[in-house]
Amino acid sequence: MFDNFDNVTGAEHFIVPNIIHFIRFQTFELNFVDYMVLLAAMRNHNPDQFFFHTDVEDIQFTGKYWGLVKQDEDLWSRIKVFFLEAPAEIFGQKLNEGWRFYHGSDIGRIHVLMKYGGIYVDNDAYVIRSLDKYRKFEFVINWDENQFMGTQVIIAHKDARFLPLWLESYRDYRSDKWYYNAGERPTTEILHRKPELIHRVKGDFGAAVNVSMQIYYNPKFDWRSYDALHLLTSHRYYLDLHFNKTPVFDENNIREYEYPIGDMAREVLDKFTGIID
């Protein structure tokens, strides 16, 4: 289908469905950041549907933040949930037990995109501007200069040529390396050889750690100039110098938070839910 497809100029019309995918292994209840990310994607991109993929059986939409989601009829009507088993192995190779659900999510997003196509978004990736302009390409990913590709936001047609090659690269699974199979190997073994398989985004998805960390310490950081930003939620405890003061964000302590993550939260919560006075 995509033989000789031009991933620089793209198609004349949208070829990627307007669906945002989230993967939630082990827990389905939303925390404050999950909720903020969901609202940002709704407000700033406006997808037709949200597909939540989870290994939690007999899900219940429990907790404060699912309660707030259900109060918003428009948002709630767009949400669908699908069971997705968390992989324990890949091509007969057992996943690192300690990282199983992280490496499993890396694999899961490939399978999800190969089945449905659409826009995969990490649970801590904040969408700032509409991603529609990328829906004319077969596969879109952040790949900064002299870096490995960043998998926090991925836009793909289900038949994108890169997807099966990426999955196949897991035949050499390195269980002892955090980002080898998700980012390092597909970059060096596939993209360096066939860069034409993707539409390359340089920086605009805020994947670089030195960029996204600025939301926690630089009051003048121009976060609105990006299309998306990785919030690095699971890495804050060792990267964020102010972590001990605010280890967990909620709608109360975010009201006065002086760094850009506070502005990002207040913008979507103010205009969308009114839970911040």
What are phi and psi for residue 81, nearest 5 degrees?
Answer: -125, 135
Question: Which is it for the CA torsion 225, 231, 237, 239, positive or negative?
Answer: negative
Helix (H, G, I), strand (E, B) or coil at 51: strand
Q: Decide the pairing of beta strands 79-83 and 89-90.
A: unpaired
Contacts of 170 (CB under 8 A, 6+ apart): 90, 91, 93, 107, 181
Pairing label, strands 49-54, 79-83: parallel
In this prediction, residue 3 carries a pLDDT of 82
CA angle (233, 234, 236) in 5-degree steps: 65
**Tokens in use for 127?**
């969408």
Q: What pLDDT does 226 receive?
A: 98
Among all chains, which residue has been given the structure tokens 């406006």?
46
pLDDT band at 156 (very low <50, low <70, confident <90, very high): very high
pLDDT in tens, 5-23: 999 999 999 999 999 999 9
Taking only the tens place, the pLDDT of each residue in 165-204 is: 999 999 999 999 999 999 999 999 999 999 999 999 999 9
Domain boundaries, the chain: 19-201, 209-272
Looking at 3.10.450, 3.90.550, 3.40.190, 3.40.50, the CATH number of the domain 19-201 comes to 3.90.550
- For 210-246, how does the pLDDT look when each residue is reduced to its tens digit (9 = 90+)? 999 999 999 999 999 999 999 999 889 998 888 999 9
Strand locations in 71-149 (E): 79-83, 89-90, 93-94, 118-121, 125-127, 139-142
Helices (H), the chain: 32-44, 64-71, 73-76, 100-116, 162-168, 185, 209-212, 236-239, 260-272
The closest of 159, 140, 264, 253 to 207, measured between CA atoms, is 140
Residue 154, SS3 per DSSP: strand
> Is residue 271 scored above 90 in pLDDT?
no
pTM, full prediction: 0.95
Q: Count of CB atoms within 10 A of residue 200's CB? A: 19
